[in-house]
């Protein structure tokens, strides 16, 4: 790791830096997952590169046994460590769902507060790389539906660093979802030791006509649409949720109170998703103040396909965001 402060970094670098700094600052932080140690390449995208060389036994490559190593993270967390485990791809959470939802999320409650599980599960996902139906899904709604676990989904390197540091500090389990195709996008470099609070959204762009709410990859699609519409005299207020559970409804409702209109955007399939929850909460709180029903922009309710034209048909198009915004203004 370079010690010279950089002004530019991508998400991959900022998350690597966050893990490195957390391990340096706190001996309770341990890291494990498949292929994550340096002899195995330092992770499939080299996100954990350098950690095992520097921190030795605190960083381990595991067998391909998500149930065992996620359960082991639960046990180590109960014993006072702060494990950060990597479930390589988000779809693989399905094979260790029991340890995540029945144990990590519930032990604090079921033990009456005698134990708690300060662990982070990092995982990557996203369509657009022809990875097909079992390597691409955004499954955050599964976990948002489970009390006891927090779900964090950064969209840029600065937030990625600060949120990962906060997730590692957090006394409760955090699922940290990374958008794989944006790992290499350049952005501003994070400051060492910075923290972004979990459960706090960020107003990315101010505007008075319509509130556009997203997180993770959707932020990359929303920003140019908002830019384009500004030229047409439509002022979008863009909110990056950053944490999807717990939702920062204060920030969302403050904005929608001002604009009277809202559009929610995510890559995950539309039905029963985060967009439905955000939309519902806006309607519950602000029904009489809304100028139009809340719109959702999301992917088709199908598995992620393989062929590029199908993959494109699965995902919303940026034009869909514009259409939804214009619909709320019609």
* Residues recognised as catalytic: 66, 135
Is residue 112 within the footprint of another protein (CB under 8 A)?
A: yes
Is residue 55 within the footprint of another protein (CB under 8 A)?
A: no
The smaller minimum CB distance to another protein, of residues 97 and 286, is found at 97
Is residue 202 within the footprint of another protein (CB under 8 A)?
A: no
Q: How far apart are CA 287 and CA 281, in angstroms?
A: 10
Pairing of strands 262-269, 295-299: parallel
- C-beta of residue 238 within 8 angstroms of C-beta of residue 207: yes
Question: With CB under 8 A, what is the number of residues at the site for another protein?
Answer: 42
- The binder of another protein chosen from 6, 129, 145, 171 (CB under 8 A): 171
Is residue 162 within the footprint of another protein (CB under 8 A)?
A: no
The smaller minimum CB distance to another protein, of residues 73 and 325, is found at 73
Q: Count of alpha carbons within 13 Å of 131, Cβ hemisphere only?
A: 16
Q: Classify the C-alpha dihedral 188-193-197-198 as positive or negative.
A: positive
**Residue 32 to residues 9, 93, 116: CA-CA distances in angstroms?**
24, 15, 19
- In whole angstroms, the minimum distance from the beta carbon of 60 to another protein comes to 8
Is residue 108 within the footprint of another protein (CB under 8 A)?
A: yes
- C-beta of residue 184 within 8 angstroms of C-beta of residue 10: yes
Span from 75-83, 127-135, 156-164, 273-281 in contact with another protein (CB under 8 A)? 75-83
Write the DSSP symbol of residue 98: I
- The binder of another protein chosen from 6, 8, 26, 111 (CB under 8 A): 111
E strand map for 15-127: 29-33, 59-61, 82-89, 120-125
- In whole angstroms, the minimum distance from the beta carbon of 105 to another protein comes to 9
Is residue 188 within the footprint of another protein (CB under 8 A)?
A: no
The smaller minimum CB distance to another protein, of residues 112 and 309, is found at 112
Q: Count of alpha carbons within 13 Å of 130, Cβ hemisphere only?
A: 3
- In whole angstroms, the minimum distance from the beta carbon of 69 to another protein comes to 7
Is residue 67 within the footprint of another protein (CB under 8 A)?
A: yes
- The binder of another protein chosen from 5, 63, 233, 309 (CB under 8 A): 63
Q: How far apart are CA 147 and CA 228, in angstroms?
A: 39
Pairing of strands 150-152, 243-245: antiparallel
Is residue 328 within the footprint of another protein (CB under 8 A)?
A: no
The residues binding another protein (CB under 8 A) are: 30, 57-58, 60, 62-63, 65, 67-81, 83, 98-99, 102-103, 107-116, 147-148, 150, 171-172
């Amino acid at each position: 790791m370079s010690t010279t402060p950089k002004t530019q970094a991508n998400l991959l670098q900022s998350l690597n830096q966050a893990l490195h700094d957390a391990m340096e600052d706190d001996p309770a932080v341990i890291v494990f997952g498949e292929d994550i140690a340096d002899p195995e390449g330092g992770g499939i995208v080299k996100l954990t590169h350098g950690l095992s060389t520097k921190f030795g036994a605190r960083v381990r490559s595991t067998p391909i046994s998500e149930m065992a190593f996620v359960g082991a993270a639960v046990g180590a967390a109960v014993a006072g460590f702060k494990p950060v485990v990597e479930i390589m791809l988000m779809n693989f959470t399905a094979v260790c769902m029991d340890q995540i939802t029945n144990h990590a999320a519930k032990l604090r409650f079921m033990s009456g507060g005698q134990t708690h599980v300060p662990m982070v599960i990092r995982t990557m996902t996203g369509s657009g790389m022809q990875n097909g139906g079992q390597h691409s899904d955004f499954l955050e709604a599964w976990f948002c539906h489970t009390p006891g676990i927090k779900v964090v989904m950064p969209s840029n390197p600065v937030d990625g660093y600060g949120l990962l540091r906060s997730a590692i500090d957090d006394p409760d389990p955090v699922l940290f979802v990374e958008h794989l195709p944006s790992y290499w996008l350049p952005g501003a470099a994070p400051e060492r030791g910075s923290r972004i609070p979990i459960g706090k959204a960020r107003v990315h762009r101010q505007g008075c006509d319509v509130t556009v709410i997203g997180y993770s990859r959707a932020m990359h699609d929303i920003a140019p649409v908002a830019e384009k519409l500004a030229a047409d005299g439509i002022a979008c207020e863009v909110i990056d949720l950053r944490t999807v559970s717990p939702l920062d409804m204060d920030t969302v409702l403050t904005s929608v109170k001002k604009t009277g209109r809202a559009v929610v955007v995510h890559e995950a399939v539309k039905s029963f998703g985060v967009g439905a929850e955000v939309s519902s909460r806006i309607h519950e709180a602000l029904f009489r103040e809304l100028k139009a029903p809340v719109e959702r922009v999301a992917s088709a309710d199908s598995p992620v396909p393989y062929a590029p034209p199908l993959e494109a048909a699965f995902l919303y198009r940026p034009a869909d965001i514009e259409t939804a915004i214009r619909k709320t203004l019609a």
